Every structure is written in C-alpha cells, then in structure tokens.
Chains A and B, each alone.
Chain A
Amino acid sequence: MFRKDFPYFQNSKTVYLDNGATTQKPKSVIDSQVEYYEQYCSNTHRSNFGHANKATYEFEKTRKLLKEFINASKNEEIIFTKGVTESINFIASSFAIDFKTVIISSLEHHSNIVPWHMQNRTLGAGLEVVNCNENLDFDLEHFEELLNANPNAFVSITHISNAFGKIHDIKTITKLAHKYGAIVMIDGAQSLAHFKVDVQDLDVDFFAISGHKTFAPTGVGAIYVKEKYLKNIKPYQTGGATIHEVDYSGSILLDSPYKFEAGTQNIAGVIGFGKALEYINHVRYENIESLENKVFKYLNEELSKLTEIIFYNDLTNCVGSRSFNFKGIIHDDIGILLDKMNIAVRVGHHCAQPIMKKLGIRGTIRVSTAFYNDYVDVDKLIEALKKALSMLKD
C-alpha cells in the first residue's frame, strides 16, 4: 500500500529484510536531499542571505517536528547528532562519566557497551548488567537489586533489542530507576520506525534517536535531553556556531541546543529527517503497527514451520526483528545463499556479542521488517530458506 512511496522497491528486485540495519527512504526524503543541494545549498545559523535563511528555517523546522513527534516539552531539548552512537557517546562523556555506576541491560549493542569500557568501567567496577531470563525478558528484580546496591546510578538501556526485537518496558524501568535516584538514558535506535514514543509519558531523562533507521538519510540522529539536565552537560565538541562571544581570555557559549552542535551540521540529513517524520505522520503509526504486526506474525508462523529452527525468544513484546538459527547450520552459510537469491537479511552477531556469548552462539540469522514489507516478502524468504537448507543439508 505504501511501498510505492519508496523508489528502492521500484529499482531493486531484492527482498529487503534488513530494516534493523537501515530502512529504505521514501521519495519525499530523497527529493529533499536533491532540492537542498540543487536549489538552496547554504550553511545554517551563520549567513543571513535568502538561501541561508531558508536552510536554517528548514533545519530548525525538523527540530520542531521532532520535538512534537516525541512530545518533548521544548525545542531546546532536541540536539542533533550523527546518530544513536554519537548520541550515547556524547552523554556518556559529557554527563554520565561522573557517575559512580552505570547500569545497562543484557541486550545492549556495542554502542551502549563500548563507551562505558572507554571510561575504564568493567562488570562490577563501575558497570552493572541486568540479567534477562531464558526468553530474554528484562529481570526487574535484579534491576532493583542493582539500583538498591548502587543508588544514584546512570541507567542506559535499549528500548528495543536490535538483535532480537525484544521491547523493554521503559516506563516501568524508568519509574523504578527514578525511585532510587538514578538517571535514565534510553537507546531508541530501533523505536521510531515501529511505534509512537512519548518522552514525557515515559519520563526518560535522555532518549537517543536514529534518523536512518526511521526512513531518514544516514548520518543523522538526535538526543532528547530533559530540560533540567541541559545546564549540567558539558559540550562534547566546541567550534563554530556554538559561540556567543570569544576573546583570548575565554569563550561564552550559546544556550542549548546550539552549544552542543559544533561546526557545520549534516544540513541535508536533518532536513531529510524532517521529511521522514512528516512521512510517518502521513502514514500514521496506527497503520504502521497494524501492517507490520500482521506481517511479523505471519513471518513467525512460516518460520516456525521450518524444521530444526531455533528461536531465542517468543513473540511476546517483540517487534521488528526475528532472530534464529537452524540446528547444525552456521548462520554465515545461510546468509551467503540468501544473498544469491536476492534476499537481504543480516547474519552474524549484530554488534551485540555479549548476549550472543551468553546464549552460547556466535550469531544468528536476523530478519528485520518494516511496515512496507508484505506477505510476498515473507513467502520469498521462506522459499529461499528452504532452498538454502536443502543445499546445505544435502
């Protein structure tokens, strides 16, 4: 129904099921890139001629759109970055570094593990990891034990596991964390492509957002920062467009968000991000969820019919990604053969090695869907998997 909005599907025969890595872009997003570069390419927040003003206007329009999109209370709470990785690294090094303990979940990807290692935190020494059960469910009791043993901690938890599609109950997690004086950052890399996020309702303190996993261009993302923390965060980088006044005795920085957005930004990317948000508003989340849930359920049913398939979690609180293996088959072999049959999935550890090690595997085959995937995509995947299995088991 909405597939025609995405030029990729007119130009490619590939069955695209790697949306957890990046989503396809609607025509309006692609057109916005060409329009910026062909018609008003100028820098933002500096010059004040017509095209520069338009570029600044369009850039700031995305900030306002994103603020409304996630129900932040002020534009100043939205800081653009190049993506979730930069968002997490920014808050890790400019704010969370001063916390004695950082608590993460068992399902984090490397972007929410390695920044803490870079601060010389290791398990039990400044870093704590919340257990999950055999269905990969977050262990709230263990979380509370950790919060109790480490009051006023910094909690950094993924919203949706990139490897397994598991959704964490952020509202409950945040409420519990706040009870013990903790501050909460959510890695929302996978969230906005699938469902509505309301940062005030969730009451999170920081929320990291990916543009390219939300139908926007690559190289753009954002971090939501609750207003009360803006003053306590040191800029991660400094430079042009962050400054109120400079002389050789010192610098006076602008207020948020500008003091956090040093140097020329990914202007086209941010503008495209705005178009992606407008596109989602046009499609509406209720349609996205309805379309995606039907296909995701069908995907699970059809996969379950394959012999010797191994899942690591059921469909409860699961969205977007279905991860699995086949008994006695290495995931790499499946990946190579699916590629030859024009099926794009991701095989491997999905930048989440710790959970793979915990499960005693080196990786999985991950099928990740978006609302534009349909039953035909699933049928083609299943047919290709059957062919690959017959070749490998022969």
Chain B
Amino acid sequence: MSTIEQRVEEIKEDLDFFEDELQKYEYIIDLGKKLEEFDEKDKIPENIVHGCTSQVWLTHKQKDGKLYFYGTSDAIIVKGLVYMILKIFSDSTIQELKDIDMDIVHELKLSEVITPNRQSGVIGMMKKIKEYALNA
C-alpha cells in the first residue's frame, strides 16, 4: 500500500512525462473522463468545495478506518484535477489525512494550484478532505 507522498510522486512522474504543456492538459482532461459517475443527489451545498472558481463537489465514505472520496466538477480540466486528488488521498487512513501537509500539491507544479483570485481549488479540495478526516 503506497503512502500519500508516494502517490503524489507517481502523479508527478506522469505529468513530468509531457514536455508540451498542451499535451499535459490533454492528459489531465482524459483523467477527468475516468472519474466515477458522481451521484447527482450528492450535488448539495454541504459537498461544495470552497475556493474553487469552478464548481467542485466532494463527498466521502468511511470503511475500516479509511476514507474513500468521490468528486466531480462542472469544468472539464478541473475534473482531471479532482481525479488526481482522489487518487492521491482516497484509501488513506484517517490519521494520514489529518496529517496532510498542504504544501504537498505544489510538488505537482500545476499553475492551477495558485488561482487568480488568490484561492486554490486544489487547496480547497485538500481542506475539504482534511475536514472530512477531522470529523470522521
């Protein structure tokens, strides 16, 4: 079972493979298409991620001391980012999630980590994940 750090490293390696920025984003768009169907009834205000310029919903299930996350977005590229975040943080123990270092996503070197209105959708997702872990 890999750690959160290892999963970040794996995704970073995948992204670093692309020298061309547009190819990288084509890959991210494709990742978004792999997202599990998100239940429409979960698109409720409680599951909205704050800090995203696009709309993002994130929900979770708890099983055997671990949290599993589900999410989606109305924006296509952001869907890809959601996929990456779920891949990194899903299937982690509650304690691991409580200890998340928010700076870890900067390793991915995606400009979307720092968004124009000084809010980060990715950081918003991580905060939501941490919130779910703290309340678990």
User: Do A and B associate with each other?
Assistant: yes
Residues of A within 8 A of B (CB): 329-330, 332-333, 336-337, 339-341, 346, 348, 362-363, 387, 391-392, 394
* A345 to B: closest C-beta gap in Å: 11
Tell whether A333 pairs with B26 under 8 Å between CB atoms, given A340-B21, A348-B116, A348-B117: no
Tell whether A330 pairs with B112 under 8 Å between CB atoms, given A340-B21, A394-B29: no
- Check if B117 sits within 8 Å of A332, measured CB to CB: no
* A340 to B: closest C-beta gap in Å: 4
* B11 to A: closest C-beta gap in Å: 18
Proximity bits, B57-99, A CB within 8 Å = 1, else 0:
0000000000000000011111000000000000000000000
Query: In the complex, what residues of B have CB within 8 A of residue A387's CB?
Result: 22
B3 at the interface (CB under 8 A from A): no
* A62 to B: closest C-beta gap in Å: 31
Query: In the complex, what residues of A have CB within 8 A of residue B111's CB?
Result: 339
Query: In the complex, what residues of A have CB within 8 A of residue B21's CB?
Result: 340
Chain B: number of interface residues, binned into ranges: 10 to 19
B53 at the interface (CB under 8 A from A): yes
Closest 4 CB pairs of A and B: A330-B75, A340-B21, A332-B54, A332-B75
Tell whether A336 pairs with B112 under 8 Å between CB atoms, given A330-B74, A392-B29: yes
Query: In the complex, what residues of B have CB within 8 A of residue A337's CB?
Result: 22, 25, 77
| Complex Cα spacing A111 to B75, Å | 28
- Check if B22 sits within 8 Å of A332, measured CB to CB: no
- Check if B25 sits within 8 Å of A332, measured CB to CB: no
- Cross-interface CB contact of B76 among A339, A348, A392, cutoff 8 Å: A392
- Cross-interface CB contact of A330 among B26, B29, B76, cutoff 8 Å: B76
A-B contact pairs, 13 of them (CB 8 A): A329-B76, A330-B78, A333-B54, A333-B78, A336-B112, A340-B21, A341-B22, A348-B53, A362-B55, A363-B53, A391-B22, A391-B29, A392-B29
Query: In the complex, what residues of B have CB within 8 A of residue A332's CB?
Result: 53-54, 75, 77-78
- Cross-interface CB contact of A391 among B25, B53, B74, B75, cutoff 8 Å: B25
- Check if B75 sits within 8 Å of A333, measured CB to CB: yes
- Contacts A329-B76, A392-B76 known; 18 new A-B pairs at CB < 8 A: A330-B54, A332-B54, A332-B75, A332-B77, A333-B76, A333-B78, A336-B25, A336-B112, A337-B22, A337-B25, A339-B111, A340-B21, A362-B55, A387-B22, A391-B25, A391-B26, A392-B29, A394-B29
Closest A residue to B29 by CB, please name it. A391
* B128 to A: closest C-beta gap in Å: 18
- Check if B54 sits within 8 Å of A340, measured CB to CB: no
Closest B residue to A330 by CB, please name it. B75
- Check if B25 sits within 8 Å of A340, measured CB to CB: yes
**Segment 18-76 of B: residues with Cβ below 8 Å from A:** 21-22, 25-26, 29, 53-55, 74-76
| Complex Cα spacing A341 to B74, Å | 22
Residue with the greatest number of chain A CB neighbours at <10 A, chosen from B29, B55, B75: B75
Closest B residue to A384 by CB, please name it. B22
Query: In the complex, what residues of A have CB within 8 A of residue B112's CB?
Result: 336
| Complex Cα spacing A329 to B76, Å | 8
